[in-house]
Amino acid sequence: MSDDQECPVCVKGAPMWMCTFGDLMSLLLCFFVLLLSFSEMDREKYKQVAGSMEKAFGIQRQENVSESPRAGLKMIAKDFDQDAIATRIKEFIGRELEDNFNELYSQIGEDIEVKAGKDKVTIRFMGESTFDSGKAEIKSELEPLILRIGQILAKETTGDIIISGHTDNVPVRGGPFQSNLKLSIARAATVAQFLLDRTDIDPKRVATMGFGEYRPIADNLTEAGRRKNRRVEITVGTIPKRDKMEINADLLPTE
């Protein structure tokens, strides 16, 4: 630049576009404040969501743990990973039946179901897959399968285990059981005792129930329906300890 060239005069104040930008930011701020003033917060729902997230990611304050999680372990609490547990048990049952009980698989493969529900997993043995008609002794060929399932539940889960017995509506004739209700109770107790005797499941986790013919899942007018209704269910979940006399209805075997 030559010495005789004059320096251009600088305009005082901020650039003109800054005024428009400032107005835009002020309007956006007012807009979001207005949206917030119209919004409503359900405190109970917020507490439930916050509590579920806290438990799902394994947050606990009862014990001080100084060690960091070991590599390879899941951070999410196992009790809330029900889909993964159900898939694992379902794959295991299919593999176990095919590998060790080929003949049995063709007979009862469709009589065993594993379903994941709300905070629970249900393993359902239907028809005569586990018990002979009118009896409460586990079939010897099914004992290894039930044993392995019990070992998985003992190792992979920490929730409560409810074993429930169900029957169809055909009256019991002869034998040691005078009614379907007594038969369903005896079958549930037999499975529970088998698991307690043969696995490391904590007895405090186990409960038994007998519903007889009063909670069918299919139509008793057909043989196929009655076969589904004759069942023993192993339900794994968590019963809240808010009240010792209160039982979570979502955990109970459903119709």
Q: How many residues does the chain have?
A: 255
Sheet holding 112-117, edge to edge: 112-117, 120-126, 231-237, 160-166, 206-212
Say if residues 215 and 195 touch (Cβ distance below 8 Å): no
Averaged over 204-210, what is the pLDDT? 95
Structure tokens at 210: 């007998």
Asked, for residue 26, whether it belongs to a domain, the answer is no
Rounded to the nearest integer, the mean pLDDT of the chain is: 76
For 30, the token pair is: 């007012």
Question: Is 6 inside any structural domain?
Answer: no
Tell me, yes or no, whether 148 lies in a domain. Answer: yes
Q: Residue 138: is its pLDDT beyond 90?
A: yes
Task: Give mean pLDDT, residues 7-13.
Answer: 68
Residue 114 belongs to what domain range? 78-251
Tell me how crowded residue 73 is: count the other CB atoms within 10 A of its CB. Answer: 7
In a domain, residue 202? The reply is yes
Q: Residue 173 is part of a domain; what is its CATH number?
A: 3.30.1330.60
- Let me know if residue 34 belongs to a domain: no
Give the confidence band of 181 by pLDDT, cuts at 50, 70, 90.
Answer: very high
Tally the domains of the chain: 1
User: Does residue 172 belong to any structural domain of this protein?
Assistant: yes
Candidate from 49-53, 64-68, 76-80 with smallest mean pLDDT: 76-80
Q: Which of the two residues, 208 and 22, has the higher pLDDT score?
A: 208
For 213-229, how does the pLDDT look when each residue is reduced to its tens digit (9 = 90+)? 999 999 999 999 999 99
pLDDT given at position 55: 54
- Within 8 A by CB and 6+ apart from 213, the residues are 166, 167, 168, 169, 180, 181, 220, 229
Q: How confident is the model at residue 18 (pLDDT cuts 50, 70, 90)?
A: confident
In this prediction, residue 82 carries a pLDDT of 59
Whole-angstrom distance, CA of residue 182 vs CA of residue 168 = 13
Mean of pLDDT values over 24-53: 74
Is a pLDDT exceeding 70 seen at residue 50? no
The arithmetic mean of pLDDT across residues 156-182, rounded, is 91
pLDDT tops 60 at residue 54: no
Say if CB 168 and CB 127 are below 8 A apart: no
186: in domain: yes
Cα(154)–Cα(135) distance, rounded to whole angstroms? 27
**How many CB atoms are located within 10 Å of the residue 4 CB?**
5
In a domain, 22, yes or no: no
Distant-in-sequence, close-in-space partners of 89: CB < 8 Å, separation ≥ 6: 114, 121, 123, 149, 152
Higher pLDDT, 103 or 175: 175
